[in-house]
Amino acid sequence: MKSLDRGRRAAGLGLVVLAVAGGLTACSGSSGDDAGASSAGASQAAAGGGTYTIWDPYPQFDDSSDWVKLLTQCGTQAGVTVKRTGYDTTDLTNKALLAAQQGNSPDVLIVDNPVVSTLAEAGVLTSTDETKIDTSTVSPNLLAAGQLGGKTYGIPIGANTLALYYNKGVLKKAGVDAAAVKDWASLTAALEKVKAAGKKGITFSAIGTEEGSFQFLPWFWGSGANLTKLDSAEGVAALSLWTDWVKKGYAPTSVINNTQTTSWQEFATGDFAFGENGTWQLANAKKTGFDYGIIPIPAKDGGTAPAPTGGEFVTLPVQKDAARYVASQKLVTCLASTGNSYTTDTTLSYIAPTEEVQAKQVEQNAELKVWVEAVKAAKGRTSDNLGTKYPKISEPMWKAMQAALSGSQPPQEALTAAQATAASAVQ
């Protein structure tokens, strides 16, 4: 096992903590119980046994849930006792940073994939080279969300992404065949027919937050654009597509304020032909009362557009006692195993990160086939070695979206300003 560069990590962590201090001051950090458990566990690590802490972003699951039962089972198999705490996603990131600053990190930390690069750059996480976590069966495009500087920090527990839900009744009335929607031109033609038939075209989220960027990325990437050049001809084409839809009435003006939840509520009224949304809405789709289908988001000239991946990574934070990694690695391997991955991803409404489990998911539920295809084409927001640069690019991008969709700036002008802001921020 490689030695850990603790000096570099401590310095990096200090910078991150200072950068987000305003958001961290209200957080209490890890509890005294967690500290005691970590200290007690360290003394027993070499001999086996002890208590190992796991933090995850699933506060909705209590001790009776399948998820917590799985964690307990993996602990038993690893010969340790698991102490698990579920936090809200934002709270979890803050607590993880503070715990690392205090030298009191959990043994296993499960975090939203865009957060991995932030924690890795701060020196909070070990790499899979150090802890010998096997990632060989994981789809490379999903693993990329947890990579920075040529190293991998953890393993994805599963992924979700975006696609287009459609209302079969609305399309039938408009004389549109969903199977014929293969690119931007055919989609726009379908929206024109839907409007002519007296129905509404498409709804999505273009709110001025990360949710808006998340929903815009399939169109941005599907144009062939790259996040390092927001104002490329391709990027302008993507924003022009959305802007033209709103101008022509194919998309409602409400998209500028829509979250993904309110966008779904619009689609669920039954008036819209299409709604851009995620895997997590499958259960709600069955409750709409109308027949629906799902197709991948088309790229500009055909094929499936790369949509951003959601989902978490299982990571191992840096520990003072390196002997603890042995049991922690067993916990991660257990959680990522084929059988457990299937159970976990079904519980979380995720697509599995390995082809073997994906095939099993489709075999059990044919409706997931389109989502597997979408996940195979997807990419992480921090991929392309963007890491912590991504948020500094995303914010100018969503501000450009807001400007163009509100009519205050044309797409080219809005994205040119966004590119200047992003380039200055990532220098």
Residue 329's domain is classified under what CATH number? 3.40.190.10
The answer to whether residues 64 and 98 belong to one domain is yes
Q: Which helix H or strand E contains 59, and what residues bound it? A: none
Minimum mean pLDDT range among 115-124, 199-208, 338-347, 412-421: 338-347
Q: Note whether residue 283 is domain-resident.
A: yes
The answer to whether residues 98 and 200 belong to one domain is no
Q: What is the pLDDT of residue 48?
A: 59
Domain of residue 277, residue span: 162-307+386-425
Q: For residue 275, give the nearest of 289, 256, 255 by alpha carbon.
A: 255
Q: Note whether residue 71 is domain-resident.
A: yes
pLDDT tens digits, residue range 298-308? Answer: 999 999 999 99
What the block records as the tokens of 392 is 């500094």
pLDDT tens digits, residue range 236-293? Answer: 999 999 999 999 999 999 999 999 999 999 999 999 999 999 999 999 999 999 999 9
What is the C-alpha end-to-end distance of the chain, expressed in Å? 34
Predicted confidence band of residue 5 (pLDDT cuts 50, 70, 90):
very low
Q: Note whether residue 1 is domain-resident.
A: no
The answer to whether residues 135 and 34 belong to one domain is yes
pLDDT tens digits, residue range 220-246? Answer: 999 999 999 999 999 999 999 999 999
Q: What is the pLDDT of residue 348?
A: 85
Instruction: Give pairs for 401-410: CB < 8 Å, separation 24+.
Output: 401/206, 401/208, 401/212, 401/213, 401/216, 401/239, 401/242, 402/206, 402/208, 402/212, 402/256, 404/239, 404/240, 404/242, 404/243, 405/206, 405/242, 405/243, 405/246, 405/255, 405/256, 406/256
Is 371:279 a contact under the CB 8 Å cutoff?
A: yes
The answer to whether residues 260 and 392 belong to one domain is yes
Mean pLDDT value across the chain: 89
The answer to whether residues 289 and 321 belong to one domain is no
The answer to whether residues 147 and 250 belong to one domain is no
pLDDT over threshold 50, residue 46: no
Q: What is the pLDDT of residue 2?
A: 32
Q: What percent of the chain has pLDDT over 90?
A: 84
In whole angstroms, what is the distance from residue 156 CA to residue 14 CA? 27
The answer to whether residues 30 and 112 belong to one domain is yes
Question: In the chain, how many domains are there?
Answer: 2
In whole angstroms, what is the distance from residue 117 CA to residue 119 CA? 5
The answer to whether residues 231 and 300 belong to one domain is yes
Q: What is the pLDDT of residue 347?
A: 83
Q: Name the CA radius of gyration of the chain, rounded.
A: 22
The answer to whether residues 153 and 191 belong to one domain is no
For the entire predicted model, the pTM comes to 0.84
The answer to whether residues 171 and 104 belong to one domain is no
